[in-house]
Structures are given as C-alpha cells and as structure tokens.
Amino acid sequence: MNFSACKKSLANVIVIGAQWGDEGKGKITDLLSRSADVVVRSQGGVNAGHTVVVKNRTFKLHLIPSGILYPQTECIIGSGTVIDPQVLLEEMSQLEALNVSTENLFISQTAHVTMPYHRLIDQAAEERRGKRKIGTTGRGIGPTYADKSERTGIRVVDLLNPDDLQEKLEWTINYKNVILEKLYNLPPLLPKSVIDEYLQYAERLRPYVIDSSLRIYQAVKKKKNILFEGAQGTLLDLDHGTYPYVTSSNPIAGGSCVGAGVGPTIIDRVIGVAKAYTTRVGEGPFPTELHGEIGKLLGDRGAEFGTTTGRPRRCGWFDGIIGRYAVRINGLDCLAITKLDVLDELEEIQVCTAYELNGQLCYDFPSNASELARCKPIYKTLPGWQKSTTECRSLDDLPKPALDYLKFLAELMEVPIAIVSLGASRDQTIIVEDPIHGPKRALLDADGTPVNEN
C-alpha cells in the first residue's frame, strides 16, 4: 500500500459557532480567508448574517462566504445550503457596486432553492404556533429543508433545465397552494409568475453553477488550503441544539463535511468561535440570560441586533457548560474569543461554571430544552478591568484581569484560545497562534498555567 496517498494536506479548517450563532464568525473567517485558497459555506441559507468591516466599509453577507473580499480566494456555496436566488443576486449586485468581484463565486448544483411558498409557509406557521413559536427569521429556511427531506424540493440543477423546472414547479405550487389556502387562509400563488421569475434568476446564476463536491475534492488533491465557514451555531443544530428552538440544518463541525460533500479525513483543524459573553435571538431557554441593566449594557455596547432581521439579541454571561458542550460536539481544537472589549466597563464579570438541576450540580449540557429551561446557573465572579482593550494588539497589552478572564475560559473549556477579537475591524485582533499554519500549541494554556510565550 502506498501510504503517501493517506498523507493529509496541511490546512483544511472548519470554523463554527460555539454558541447560538452571531459569535462573530464573519470577522474570524474573513481574517482566516487571507490564507485560504477556497472558502466553502456548507449549510444554512439567508437566515445567516455575517458582518465584515474592512477599511471602514461594512459588508453584510447572508449567503456569500466572507472570502469573497479576497480576489484570489474561491468561494463555494455548497450542497448543504438552501439558496434564495433573489437575495443571492441582490447580495452579488451589492458587492459589485462596491467593486468587489464575484468572479470567484461558485454555486453547488445540488443545493436546494428557497421558493416564495417556503417564505409564506414559514411566516404563517410561526403565527399559527402562537406561544409555541420558534422565532424563526421568516426566510423560509425550515420549509425549504423540510421539502428536501420530503423529497419534493427544487434544486439549483432543476433551475437550469426550463422544461423540468416548469413541470416540477407546476406540480409543487399546486400542492403548496392547498396548504396556503386551506391551512393558512392565504391567497394561492400563480404557477406561471413564479416559474417566469425563477427562470430569470436561473439565467443570471447559470454561469456560477458547478459540481461543488468535485471542485472541492480537486482543491484537496492540489493541497490547497480550504476553509469551511459555518453559519449559525452549535446550539442551533437540528440534532444537537436546543430542539425545537433550532434551525433546520447542522451548523456543527460534522455538518460541514456533509454539506460540502467531503470526507472527515481531510479536515486538519476545527476552530470554535465564541463571544466573551452569550447572546441568542429567537425563542428558547437561555440559563445565563440577563434581563436587567447589565444585559442592556451588553446589548448596547455589543450592538446586539440581528444582521438579517434587526431583532434585538438576548444577552447574558458566558456559559462554560455550553462552551464545554461545543468542544465535545464539534471536537474543537481551539477557540476564537470575540467581543472581549464589550466587557471593558464592567466592575465584575460572571461566568457560569455549572448548572443546578433538580437540586444537583450538573456539568454537562442537558440534551433536552425543557430540562435546560429548569437549569439554574452557578457563577464564578471574576474582577473586571474597567479599561479599554480596543487598542490592544498583543496579550501583553491586555489589562491583567482581562488576560486572567481569558485564561479562566480556556481552563474551563479545556481548549486553547488562538484568537482574541476586540472590535469589528480586522486590526482589532490578537492572533495568539496562527491557527492555519502554526503548530498545535497554544499560548493560553487550557490548564490555566501562566502564559508561555516562547
């Protein structure tokens, strides 16, 4: 046997959200994309919102990987995503208007397409749920994935074949009209106008459509650096999140392989992104949520409003139980901690180190949402630093309590911290270790021992 055939390429990296989404993955993937030849988005749809700030220009991306801002980087929207062509085309036009080329953008032919009936059903179903609502983004994500599982979905490849599309859509729209009219009391859709609209989108998207799994495999063979960019976060995972308050895809690291169509053996490293505190949008239990002044302060200082819906995010203390769960479920190698500067003004900071459930201490994340709703957080209080960290560019620049805070998080989660982010700009970042090219060695040790900078 030729063992060299098993040799791994050096730097295929998955970046995922370690909390409930909105952890600042856009900024971290943007930074790492600099060293990537290919960036792949594997799951989710236009429910995601990545904000990237470059030279005072703010880019809000929903579907297109943040790697698009580097002209040499290929960006692939993979099979596991769901694509709303109208939003995608708008996003492409906006980038082009800002002189960002979309020449290196590729779209998987096997990704599923969000149709107008998906959006209508998503919104109507939420209304019907009343108190049981999930708090979805209303972008049709759940119904698009439901059709995929039910095997009645429309894929990008169907868009490219007008006769096929006509036949499939006529059948599907008539079927969905029954649901719209009879279940939700909504007017029916006109098949012809939907078909005409989507045929126009198809012609504009046609040049970008590829066999994405094959293209990624060819990049692997050429030993290119591939970055798999996660959307949403661990606790929004359909299988491992706080079900039913989750999204309809798999944002965990394993989902990246499925959605991109690659085997897990090509992955070299998994990076989790977590805020220095916790936020969530939508409904569902949130043990460390803060309802008073401190929650408001975190929301204001952190500009915690959804990129996609503009909804205010719920804010709370960092939850170490969630952090440890994210490490386990994703097999995290290291962490990027974002928005540390949001804590700058606080006198004291709390970190959840355990839950109390049914009168007992528990250190493992409960696998069901109703149990989680009954968990009371047990906190460790740490001193704040009450100094601005936004200008810090190395660990040495950080006030000691801020460094101690980071060490405490690394110790609690038993993973090294590789990146610390202190603001939205690219330069407001401390790269503790270069996670793509660097050795598997951290400067912030997981056991909390003093920082070894040699």
291 is catalytic: no
Radius of gyration in angstroms for the set of CA atoms belonging to the chain, rounded to a whole number: 22
Measured CA to CA, the distance from residue 385 to residue 403 in angstroms comes to: 10
350 binds ligand IMP, rule: CB under 6 A? no
Residue 188 preceded by cis peptide, ω within 30: no
- Among 19, 42, 137, 213, which residue interacts with ligand IMP (rule: CB under 6 A)? 137
21 binds ligand IMP, rule: CB under 6 A? yes
Instruction: Extract the tokens encoding 260.
Output: 């991109």
66 binds ligand IMP, rule: CB under 6 A? no
- Among 180, 235, 281, 336, which residue interacts with ligand IMP (rule: CB under 6 A)? 281
247 binds ligand IMP, rule: CB under 6 A? yes
- Among 12, 15, 19, 22, which residue interacts with ligand IMP (rule: CB under 6 A)? 22
Tell how far CA 330 is from the center of its chain: 13
248 binds ligand IMP, rule: CB under 6 A? yes
Name the closest residue to ligand IMP (Cβ): 282
Tell how far CA 391 is from the center of its chain: 27
Q: Are 390 and 308 in contact (CB under 8 A)?
A: no
136 binds ligand IMP, rule: CB under 6 A? yes
Stretch that binds ligand IMP, among 7-15, 128-136, 183-191, 361-369 (CB under 6 A): 128-136
118 binds ligand IMP, rule: CB under 6 A? no
- Among 43, 232, 242, 278, which residue interacts with ligand IMP (rule: CB under 6 A)? 232
28 binds ligand IMP, rule: CB under 6 A? no
Residue 4 burial (C-beta neighbours within 10 Å; 0-12, 13-18, 19+): exposed
CB of 15 to ligand IMP, least distance (A): 14
290 binds ligand IMP, rule: CB under 6 A? no
Q: Which is nearer to ligand IMP, 146 or 186 (CB)?
A: 146
- Among 53, 135, 186, 211, which residue interacts with ligand IMP (rule: CB under 6 A)? 135
Measured CA to CA, the distance from residue 10 to residue 404 in angstroms comes to: 32
Measured CA to CA, the distance from residue 271 to residue 439 in angstroms comes to: 14
Q: What DSSP designation does 316 have?
A: E
Which of 30, 50, 118, 333 is the catalytic position? 50
CB of 1 to ligand IMP, least distance (A): 44
| Per-position x/- string for 200-229, each x denoting binding to ligand IMP as judged by CB under 6 A, each - no binding | ------------------------------
304 binds ligand IMP, rule: CB under 6 A? no
- Among 139, 148, 240, 339, which residue interacts with ligand IMP (rule: CB under 6 A)? 139
Count of H-run helices and E-run strands, the chain: 13, 20
Q: Which is nearer to ligand IMP, 304 or 333 (CB)?
A: 304
268 is catalytic: no
| DSSP character string of 139-174 | SSHHHHHHHHHHT---BHHHHT-HHHHHHHHHHHHH
- Among 142, 259, 323, 377, which residue interacts with ligand IMP (rule: CB under 6 A)? 142
Q: What angle do CA 413, 351, 436 make, to 5 degrees?
A: 35
Total residues contacting ligand IMP (rule CB under 6 A)?
A: 20
Measured CA to CA, the distance from residue 260 to residue 438 in angstroms comes to: 25
- Among 31, 48, 260, 412, which residue interacts with ligand IMP (rule: CB under 6 A)? 48
Question: Tokens 């708090």 — which residue?
Answer: 135
* Lateral strand order in the sheet of 226-229: 209-210, 105-108, 74-77, 38-41, 226-229, 12-17, 269-275, 334-338, 417-421, 429-431
CB of 221 to ligand IMP, least distance (A): 32
Q: Which is nearer to ligand IMP, 22 or 74 (CB)?
A: 22
Stretch that binds ligand IMP, among 161-169, 242-250, 260-268, 401-409 (CB under 6 A): 242-250
Phi-psi region of 21 (alpha: psi -120 to 50; beta: other; left: phi over 0): left
Q: Which is nearer to ligand IMP, 141 or 209 (CB)?
A: 141
Stretch that binds ligand IMP, among 243-251, 261-269, 352-360, 391-399 (CB under 6 A): 243-251
- Among 24, 26, 49, 423, which residue interacts with ligand IMP (rule: CB under 6 A)? 49
242 binds ligand IMP, rule: CB under 6 A? no
Beta-carbon count within 10 A of 289 CB? 16
Measured CA to CA, the distance from residue 235 to residue 22 in angstroms comes to: 12
- Burial code of 247-257, b = ≥16 C-beta within 10 A, e = fewer? bbbbbbbbbbb
In a 3-state reduction of DSSP, which class is residue 249? coil
CB of 298 to ligand IMP, least distance (A): 16
Element (H, E) at 315: strand 314-316
Which of 22, 37, 268, 341 is the catalytic position? 22
The set of catalytic residues is: 22, 50
Q: Give contact residues for ligand IMP (rule: CB under 6 A).
A: 21-22, 47-49, 134-137, 139, 141-142, 231-232, 236, 245, 247-248, 281-282
